[in-house]
């Protein structure tokens, strides 16, 4: 990820689309962009809106200033979202608008090119040479793994996770730069296994994207 820090034309980097992990250069553009995103809290529709992740999709699209017809279609889908399935239609709609866009000062990293990923994609298994940061780890979704979970890279989706540390995390110790984490070796697997599992997910997501896009094209929204 070293190039992320030295490309002078890029003021903001986003993993696709991990709303909780981004790199921003200190600049007026970055500050205004982030404030606009934060202020979207007061503009969220009364639907299954996806919180900050839904907001970043619409905020990015609004920066493109697309034609009213294109923008209205995405907004109508968002305003009527009821679950993750219908919310996916909204995100696909936005991403289609972003695909051919030239977002000045913003770079969106493709899958597999970022620095963070959801741990549940590999049932919380990882490898220190290929993983850097996990996303989507809320305490409410934390589970204790069982013996039959060890080495099993497929598991429940959205968003259960296992603690990869043997010793509970003490935030007070994070300032200690010499601290060595006590990782649970039961959840460490070869990088090749991680990449196979992630590639399986990538193919599945690509199929779903095409299916959802076809639905959007053929569906009429109000």
**Residue 90: predicted pLDDT:** 96
Burial class of 32 by CB neighbour count within 10 A (0 to 12, 13 to 18, 19+): exposed
In the chain, which residues have pLDDT < 70? Answer: 1-20, 220-222
**Residue 107: predicted pLDDT:** 82
Q: Tally Cβ neighbours within 10 Å of residue 157.
A: 12
Q: Please report, for the chain, the start and end positions of each structural domain, with discontinuous segments joined by +.
A: 2-112, 117-204
Q: Phi, psi at residue 153, to the nearest 5°?
A: -90, -5
**Residue 2: predicted pLDDT:** 34
Q: Tally Cβ neighbours within 10 Å of residue 119.
A: 24
Rounded Cα distance between 95 and 153, Å, is 28
**Residue 16: predicted pLDDT:** 53
Structure pTM? Answer: 0.81
DSSP helix/strand/coil, 138 = coil
**Residue 5: predicted pLDDT:** 37
Secondary structure, 3-state, 157-218: CCCCEECCECCCCCHHHHHCCCCCCCECHHHECCHHHHHHHHHHHHHHHHHHHHHHHHHHHH
**Residue 3: predicted pLDDT:** 38
E strand intervals along 110-167 = 116-118, 133-135, 142-143, 161-162
Q: CA 43 → CA 75, 96, 164, distances in Å?
A: 12, 22, 37
């Amino acid at each position: 990820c070293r190039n992320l820090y030295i490309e002078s034309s890029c003021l903001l980097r986003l993993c696709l689309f991990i709303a909780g992990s981004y790199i921003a250069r200190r600049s007026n553009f970055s500050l205004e962009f982030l404030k606009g995103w934060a202020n979207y809290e007061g503009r969220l529709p009364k639907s299954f809106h996806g919180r900050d992740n839904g907001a970043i999709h619409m905020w990015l699209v609004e920066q493109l200033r697309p034609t009213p017809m294109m923008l209205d279609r995405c907004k109508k889908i968002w305003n009527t979202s009821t679950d993750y399935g219908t919310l996916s239609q909204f995100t696909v709609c936005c991403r289609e608008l972003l695909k051919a866009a030239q977002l000045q000062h913003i770079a969106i990293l493709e899958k597999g090119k970022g620095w963070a990923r959801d741990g549940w994609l590999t049932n919380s298994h990882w490898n220190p040479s290929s993983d850097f940061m996990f996303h989507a780890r809320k305490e409410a979704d934390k589970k204790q793994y069982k013996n039959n979970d060890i080495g099993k890279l497929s598991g429940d989706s959205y968003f259960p996770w296992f603690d990869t540390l043997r010793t509970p995390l003490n935030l007070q110790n994070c300032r200690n730069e010499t601290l060595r984490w006590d990782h649970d070796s039961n959840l460490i697997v070869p990088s090749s296994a991680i990449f196979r599992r992630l590639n399986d997910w990538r193919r599945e997501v690509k199929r779903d994207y095409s299916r959802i896009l076809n639905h959007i094209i053929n569906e009429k929204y109000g």
